[in-house]
Amino acid sequence: DTGVSQDPRHKITKRGQNVTFRCDPISEHNRLYWYRQTLGQGPEFLTYFQNEAQLEKSRLLSDRFSAERPKGSFSTLEIQRTEQGDSAMYLCASSPGAASSYEQYFGPGTRLTVT
């Protein structure tokens, strides 16, 4: 499968714990995006990378959230001191850095439950 992959698919954690998610984009896609989706809503943009550079961050991304893409390939999203409001599906997407870059390919998501 050459699509976007995410790990883990499900994560249950206790409030106050730190969690880290990983996203592997489609090979050679140099843009990588993180979105969050809560029940009954569409995905909401969190942040995006062009290669290893983080170029935009949403106001939704509080200081407890940090994302990295150190080598311009896979990316990690870390949430520190999780809160119940962080429970959501975290989606990763990637796109090629060309004219078609506006078409984003989504991974299966990581479902986070904070108890």
Partner 1 sequence: AQSVSQHNHHVILSEAASLELGCNYSYGGTVNLFWYVQYPGQHLQLLLKYFSGDPLVKGIKGFEAEFIKSKFSFNLRKPSVQWSDTAEYFCAVNVPSASKIIFGSGTRLSIRP
Point out which residues bind partner 1 (CB under 8 A): 3-4, 31, 33, 40-45, 48, 55-56, 58, 91, 93, 101-109
Residue (57 or 74) nearer to partner 1, CB: 57
CB of 20 to partner 1, least distance (A): 20
Cβ(67)–Cβ(56) below 8 Å: no
Separation of alpha carbons 96 and 105, rounded Å: 10
Q: Give the residue with the Cβ less far from partner 1, 76 or 101.
A: 101
CA terminus-to-terminus distance, the chain: 33
- Measure the CA–CA gap between 109 and 23, rounded to whole angstroms: 9
CB of 14 to partner 1, least distance (A): 27
